[in-house]
Amino acid sequence: MDKPGSLQNGPEPVDFRRKLTVVMILICAALSVLTIRLWYLQIIKGDELKQRSENNAVRFRKIQPLRGLIMDHNGVVIVDNRPSFDVLYLPARGVDHEDLILKLREIYKMKSVDFYPAQPFPRTLKSYLPVRLEKNVGMEKVALVETNSMDLPGVYVDVTPIRLYLDGEITAPIIGYTGEVSKEELEKPEGDYASGDITGKSGIEKALDPYVRGRRGNELVEVNVYGKVIKNLGRIDPVCGSNVVLTIDAALQKAAWEAFEGRPGAAVAMDPRDGSILAMVSSPSYDPNLFNSGIAREAWEKLQKDPLKPMSNRAIAGQYPPGSTYKLIVAAAALEEGVITPETRINCSGSFDLGNRTYRCWRKNGHGPVNLHRALVESCDVYFYTVGKKLGVDRIARYARKFGLGDVTGIELAHERKGLVPTRDWKQARMKEPWQMGETISISIGQGFNLTTPLQLAQAYASLANGGTLWRPRLVQRIEAAEGGVVKEYLPEKKGDLGLSGKTVELLQQALWGVVNEPGGTGYAARIDGADVCGKTGTSQVVGLPQDEQARRRKKIAAFHKDHALFACYAPARHPEIVVSVVAEHAGGGGAVAAPIARRILKAYFDGKKKDRPVEVAVRRQTAGQAGN
Amino acid sequence: MFFFRYDRRIFQNFDWTLFALVMSICAIGVVNIYSTGFSLGENASPLYLKQMQWVFFGLFFMMVAFLIDYRYINRAAYGLYVFSVASLIAVALFGHTANGAQRWISFGVFLFQPSELMKISIILALARYFDDHKSREPYRLRELLIPFGMVMIPCALILKQPDLGTALMIVIVSASIVLFIGMNWKSVAIAVASIFVMLPLAWHFLKDYQKNRLLTFLSPENDPLGTGYHIIQSMIAIGSGGFLGKGFLKGYQTQLKFLPEQQTDFVFSVFAEEWGFLGGLALMVIFTSLIIWGLKIALHSKDLLGTIIAFGITALIAWQVLINMGMVLGVLPVVGIPLPFISYGGSAVVSLMAAIGLLMNVSVRRFILQR
C-alpha cells in the first residue's frame, strides 16, 4: 500500500495529512465546546431550567391596536375607543380547568355576580395561548379576579380597546359596527387577520377597515404559575389605525334623526355642489355598541326578527316607488323630447281614460287646464298621464338613467341597491310578457315598477339643483394618520351630465320653487325663514290597488298598507347648498308628512350656519399601546 | 457497462463502519420525529413514517452513488451542476411557496427542494474543477474566478427564495474546500478585504424587506418574538432534560408544543430533553465519529478527486452539525440550518444519503484504484 495522503497522479503531491490533522483537531475541539455547553445546560443549570419548564409559562399576547377615530367634517369625533376588560386564562400545568371555573363561579358568588362564558372552552389548549373566559366585564369582576389571583392559577385580567359609538343608533347605518374577525375572514389569504382581531363588519367600519384597523402588536412574557409576569421577553408595539374624516355634519345628522321621531323611513342630505353627504339617517336603527364584544344571542335575534329591519340602511338599500317626485324626470324628458312646450295646456278633469280603465288624478275634481309649471306645482296626475303616454316608457327610462336612477350611486357603503327603471326590454326579459300601455301611465307618476332609493332621489335632485352635474355621493373626505398628516384624500367625482338645455333646467327649477312657495303648491309645509326652498312631494302606493278601490279602503288600511310619503328638495333656490330627500314609510301623503321632516332638516342646516360656529375640534387622540396596557 | 464493472472487492471492502454510523443516526432521527409528532393529533401524525420512507428512498440513491465509480460520476459533475442551477431557476419561476419562502418544486406527491441537491452538486463541480486544474502552487485569486462564479450563481438564486441558511452553507463549504486544497495567503487576505468593501455596495441594491431579513438574520434580538422565543424555549427544553432525560415521549416542552420548529431546526432540543445529557453525548460521539471517519476517507483516497469529494462531503456534514447544535444550544445566532439525518426533510435526507454513498465510493475504491 502506498503512503497514505500522498497523491501520485497530481502534478505535485500535496501533503494533505497535516491539514487533515488540523481539521480533525479543530472539529473535535468545536464539538467538545458544544458538549461542554450541553453539560452546562443540562447538569449545571439543569435544576433551574427544569423548574422554569415546570412552573413558568411563556405567554404570547396580541396587543390590539386602537382603531382610527371617525370624525365629522368639522373634526367632531363620532366614533372613539374605550377600554374593555376581559378575563383570560393561560392553561397551567396540573390545573383542571373545570375545577378552576367552578372556583371562579364561587368567587363571583361572594358578590353575587354571574359567570358568563365568552366562548365554549376549547378542546385542545395551547400552553402559550390564553383562553378568553369572559369578555367586557365590569370593575367588580376585575377586582374579584385580581384579589383572588392566588386561588385562580393562570387567570388574569387583560385590557383591550373596543369601539365607543358616541352617537349610537343615529350614525349606525353609516358607520356600521365592529366585531371579532370571523372564520371566513381569517381564511382569506390577503386579510392578514389573526383570531381575536377586531374588524369592521359593516358600513364605514368595513369599507375603510384596512385604514382604520391599525396593526396589532405582540408581546412575549414569561409568567409564573399564578400568571404574574416575571420576565419580559420581547414586545412589538401596535400601530394605531388612521382616522377618518367624513363629509357628515354630526349636528345635522342628529337633527335629521330627531326629525323622524322614531318613525320608519330614511333621509339623505347632500351638498349638490360636490356630492358630499351631510347627513344620512335610516330609522329605526340599532345600537352598534351592542356588537363591540360580541352581541348576545337574544339581542341579535331580536334585531334580525324585527319586521322593521333596523339593521338595514334604508337610505341606500330601501327601494321605494318614487311617486310624484318622479314627475321631475318625466317633465325633463317631455321638454327635451319636444313632446310639450312650457305653454302646452292639458285639461285635467280628475280622471284619464285608457281603453276600459280609468286612471284618476289625486284631486277628485281635477285641476282644470294646466301647463307644465302648474302641473308640477299642484302635482297633477292627469297632465303626466297624458305626457307619459306620448313619451313612452323607454324614453322616460333614458332620462331616468341620466338622473342616476336604476343604478348604484357608487357611495362607499356596501349593500347599496340599484332601484329599478323599467323598460320594454326589461319586462320582456324578466316577466316574459310584453309591455302594457297602462304600465306607462303608472310609470309617468312614479308608480308601478319604478323603484328608487332615498340616496338616488337626493342624487337626482342634486343634479338639477346644481344645473346638471351628476356627482357621485361621497361620505369620506380624507384619511388622516393618527400622528397627523393626510394619508389619503377623496376628491369629489363627477359621474355625468344631465345634458338638459339651460331653459329646461330653469323651467324645472322654477316649478320646484313653486311647489313650496306658490299658493296651491303641495310642498308648502317645507318653507323656512331665510332661504327659498325648492322641492317636490311624492306619495307612493304600497299596494297596487286601483285608485278608487284604494280610496275606499283607506280608512281601514293597516299601518303596513299605508302609502309612503316622499319629499325631495333643495335650498337656497339660487346657489343651492343642500339637497334633502325624505322617505317616511307608511306615513301617508308626502306634503303632509315628508315635507315637514325635510323642513326640520333644512332649518337645522341653516340655523347651524347662522351660528357660524367656531371650529371646536373635539378630537381625542390617543397613542397606541396605552389602552393596551 | 463501461462505467460499472463488477468487482468483488467493492463488496469485500464495503465500508460497514460508515454505513452503521449513518444508519444509527437515521434511526435516532426517525424515533425522535416520532416523539415530536406524538401529540399532533388523535390519529398520530405520519411524519416519522414519511421520514422513514425518505431514508429508504435515500438508501437507493446511496447505492447508486456508491456503485458507479466516482471518476465516472465526476464526468457528469458539470451536468449535474447545470441541472441543479436550472432547477433553482425553475423554483424562482414557478416554485411552490410555503412559510413565505419559495423553495420547492411540486411533483404532486412530494415537494423537491433543489437547494439541497445543490449542496452536493457544488461539491462535485468544485472537485471536478480543481482536479482538472491541478496546481503545484497555492491557488491565487485570478485562478479562482471561475469557481467563485460557480458558487455565486446558485447562491444568488437561493438567497432570492429566500433561504439564507442554505446559501450560507454553500458558501462555507465551498470556502472550506478552497482553503483546504490551498490558497495563497495574500489572496485570502485580498478576498476577505474585498468582501468587506463589497458588502455596503450590495446593501445599496437590496430592497427594504430583504434588508430587514438580513438584519434579523444578523441580530435575532431584533426579532425577539420569533427567534428569541425559539432560543429560550430550546434552552429550557434542553436544560430540563438533566442527566438522564425525561424519557421517550415524556418531554413536556416538546409534548406541550412549547418548542417551535421541533421537527426541523430545533430537533436536537427534543432529543436532549427526552434523552438527557447521556443521549446528547451519545449523539455527539456518533457525529464526531462520522466526521473523523469522513476525514480519514479523504486522507486515504488514492487521488486528488477522491480527496476533494470526501473532504467536501465531510465538511458539509460537519458544518451543519456545528452550526445547528450551536444555534440550538444558544451559542450561535439562529440560522435555518437543519441537523443532518435527524431533522425532518425529504430532499435533505435523500441528498445527504447520496452524499454518503459517494463517501463510501471513495472509501472503497482506494482498494481498487491502481496507479
Q: What is the DSSP string of A334-395?
A: HHHTTS--TT--EEE-SEEEETTEEEE-SSTT--EEE-HHHHHHTT-HHHHHHHHHHH-HHH
Q: How many CB atoms lie within 10 A of CB A142?
A: 15
Pairing outcome for strands B111-112 and B101-106: antiparallel
Among candidates A30, A38, A126 on the partner chain, residue whose Cβ is nearest the Cβ of B277: A38
Find the helix packing angle between A393-402 and A327-336, rounded to 10°: 110
Q: Do B239 and A42 touch (CB under 8 A)?
A: yes
Q: Residue A618: what pLDDT? A: 39
Say which residue, A402 or B212, is predicted with more confidence.
A402
Rg (CA), chain A: 35
End-to-end CA distance of chain A: 76
- What confidence category does residue A461 fall into, taking pLDDT thresholds of 50, 70 and 90? very high
pLDDT of residue A3 exceeding 50, the answer is no
The set of long-range contacts for A427-432, using a CB threshold of 8 Å and a minimum separation of 24, is none
Confidence of residue A346 (pLDDT cuts 50, 70, 90): very high
Q: Which of B346, B226, B340 is nearest to B294 (CA)?
A: B340
How far, rounded to the nearest angstrom, does the alpha carbon of residue B303 sit from its chain's CA centroid?
24
List of chain B residues whose C-beta atoms are within 8 Å of the C-beta of residue A122: none
Angstrom distance (rounded) from CA A590 to CA A562? 12
Class of domain A250-285+312-611: alpha beta
Closest Cβ opposite residue B329 in set A5, A37, A233: A37
Cβ separation of B322 and A34 shorter than 8 Å?
A: yes
CA distance A90 to chain B (A): 13
Return the C-alpha torsion angle A149, A155, A159, A160, nearest 10: 180
Q: Domain ranges for chain A, please list them.
A: 59-171+218-244, 250-285+312-611
Q: Which residue has the higher pLDDT, A465 or B32?
A: A465
DSSP string, A178-207: EEEPPHHHHH-TTS---TT-EEE-SHHHHH
Nearest CA distance, B201 vs chain A (angstrom): 30
Least confident of A196-200, A446-450, A466-470, B274-278: A196-200
Average pLDDT of span A573-577: 93
Size of interface A-B (CB pairs under 8 A): 151
Q: Which residues of B touch A219 (CB under 8 A)?
A: 225
Q: Is B238 in contact with A38 (Cβ distance < 8 A)?
A: yes
Contact A127 B318 (CB under 8 A): no
Query: Cβ separation of B329 and A218 shorter than 8 Å?
Result: no
pLDDT of A8 above 80: no
Contacts of B57 (CB under 8 A, 6+ apart): B346, B349, B350
How many Å lie between the alpha carbon of A49 and the closest alpha carbon of chain B?
5
pLDDT band at A517 (very low <50, low <70, confident <90, very high): very high
Catalytic residue numbers of A read 324
Query: Region B159-184: what's the mean pLDDT?
Result: 87
Dist. CA B324–CA B29, nearest whole Å = 14
Architecture of domain A59-171+218-244: Alpha-Beta Complex (3.90)
- Return mean pLDDT, chain B: 83
Going by C-beta distance under 8 Å and a sequence separation of 6 or more, which residues neighbour residue A114? A108
CB contact under 8 A, B303 and A9: yes
Q: A2, A21, A27: best mutation site toward chain B, by most B Cβ within 10 Å?
A: A27
**Do the Cβ atoms of B181 and A14 come within 8 Å?**
yes
Nearest CA in chain A to B302: A7
Residues 41-80 on B with a CB inside 8 Å of A are: none
- H-state helical runs in A56-157: 97-110, 139-147
The amino acid at B226: G
Comparing A327-336, A524-533, B83-92, B240-249, which segment has the lowest mean pLDDT?
B240-249
Q: How many residues does chain B have?
A: 371
Which residue in the set B182, B240, B311 is minimally distant from A50, CB to CB? B240
Q: Which of residues 322-341 of B touch A (CB under 8 A)?
A: 322, 325-326, 329-331
Contact between A34 and B182 using a beta-carbon 8 Å cutoff = no
Number of H helices and number of E strands within chain A?
Answer: 21, 23
The answer, yes or no, to whether residue A551 has pLDDT greater than 60, is: no
3-state SS, residue B345: coil
Identify the domain containing residue B324 by its residue range: 8-365
From chain A, the residues in CB contact with B257 under 8 A are: 126-127
Burial label for A529, CB within 10 Å (0-12, 13-18, 19+), is: exposed
Residue A108: helix, strand or coil by DSSP? helix
Q: Cell numbers of A597, please?
A: 321632516
Q: Which residue has the higher pLDDT, A23 or B218?
A: A23
Contact flag A127-B257 (C-beta cutoff 8 Å): yes
Q: Average pLDDT, whole number, for chain A?
A: 84
Query: Which chain A residues touch B256 with a CB distance below 8 Å?
Result: 127
B231 contacts chain A (CB < 8 A): no
The Cα A219–Cα A232 span in angstroms is: 8
Instruction: Compare B334 and A474 and report the one with higher pLDDT.
Output: A474
The verdict on a CB contact (< 8 Å) between A234 and B325 is: no
Local confidence band at A385 (pLDDT 50, 70, 90 cut-offs): very high
Q: Give the chain B residue whose CA is nearest to the CA of A62.
A: B225
Q: Do B272 and A38 touch (CB under 8 A)?
A: yes
Cβ-nearest to B326 among A2, A34, A48: A34
Burial label for A94, CB within 10 Å (0-12, 13-18, 19+), is exposed
Nearest chain B alpha carbon to A33: B326
Task: Classify burial at A294, counting beta carbons within 10 Å of its beta carbon; exposed 0-12, middle 13-18, buried 19 or more.
Answer: middle
Which residue did the predictor score with more confidence, A102 or A119? A102
From the CA of A610, how many Å to the nearest CA of chain B? 53
- Side chain identity, residue A384: F
Q: Does B371 touch chain A (CB under 8 A)?
A: yes
Give the pLDDT band of residue B37 (cuts 50, 70, 90): low
Which pLDDT score is estimated for B1?
A: 45
CA distance B351 to B119: 8
Q: In the predicted model, is pLDDT for residue A112 greater than 50? A: yes
Question: Chain A interface, mutation test: which of B42, B231, B253, B288, most A Cβ atoms within 10 Å?
Answer: B288
How far are the Cα atoms of A16, A128, A180, B107, B163 from residue A161, in angstroms, in the given order?
Answer: 68, 22, 12, 47, 38
* Contact of A163 with A289, CB cutoff 8 Å: yes
| pLDDT for A257 | 96
Distance CA A510, CA A521 (A): 12
Record the cell numbers describing residue A187, joined without a space: 381564511
Is the pLDDT reported for residue A614 higher than 60? no
Show the cell assigned to A306: 324585527
Reported ipTM: the value is 0.87
- Counted domains in chain B: 1
pLDDT tens profile B204-231: 766 665 566 566 656 655 565 666 667 7
Element (H, E) at B269: helix B267-300
pLDDT per residue over A351-378, tens digit each? 898 888 888 888 888 899 999 999 999 9
Asked if A220's CB is within 8 angstroms of B228's CB, the reply is: yes
Taking alpha carbons only, the member of B219, B227, B270, B253 closest to residue A220 is B227
Cβ of A49 within 8 Å of Cβ of B291? The answer is no
- Cis omega (within 30 of 0) for bond into A264: no
Q: How close is the nearest chain B Cα to the Cα of A74, in Å?
A: 38
Question: In which band, very low, low, confident or very high, does the pLDDT at A9 lie, cut at 50, 70 and 90?
Answer: very low
Q: Average pLDDT for residues A213-229, to the nearest whole number?
A: 76
Sign of CA dihedral A518, A520, A523, A524: positive
Cβ of B299 within 8 Å of Cβ of A5? The answer is: yes
Cβ–Cβ below 8 Å for A42 and B229: no
The Cα-based distances of A37 to A48, A131, B318 in angstroms read: 15, 37, 18
Q: Hey, are the CB atoms on B180 and A19 less than 8 Å from each other? A: yes
pLDDT range class, residue A506, cuts 50, 70, 90? very high
What does chain A come to in residues? 629
The answer to whether residue B171 is domain-embedded is yes
pLDDT (average), residues A47-76: 82
pLDDT tens digit string along A254-301? 999 999 999 999 999 999 999 999 999 998 999 999 887 777 788 888
CB-nearest to B298 from A20, A126, A218 is: A20
Does the residue B2 lie in any domain?
no
Query: What does the pLDDT look like over B231-288, one tens digit per residue?
Result: 777 888 888 888 888 777 766 655 555 555 667 778 898 899 889 999 999 999 999 9
Question: Using a CB-CB distance cutoff of 8 angstroms, which residues of chain A are in contact with residue B236?
Answer: 49, 52-53
Q: Which of A12, A14, A43 sits opposite B243 (nearest CB)?
A: A43
Residue A190 to residue A201: CA distance in whole angstroms: 17
Residue B45 placed within a domain: yes
Average pLDDT, stretch B308-315? 95
Which pLDDT belongs to residue B252? 60
From chain A, pick out residues whose CB is under 8 angstroms from the CB of B290: none
Chain B residues with CB-CB distance to A37 below 8 A: 329-331
Residues within 8 A of A (CB atoms), B 132-161 only? 134-136
Residue to test with chain B: of A9, A23, A93, most B Cβ within 10 A: A23
* Euclidean distance between CA atoms A139 and A121, whole angstroms: 23
DSSP state of A144: H
Q: In this predicted structure, which of A166-170, A503-507, B345-349 has the lowest mean pLDDT?
A: B345-349
CA-CA distance, A155 to A145, in Å (whole number)? 7
pTM of the full structure: 0.65
Model confidence at B44, pLDDT cuts 50, 70, 90, reads: very low
- Among the partner-chain residues A20, A47, A127, the one whose CB lies closest to the CB of B256 is A127
Q: Which secondary-structure segment (H or E) carries B181?
A: helix B164-181
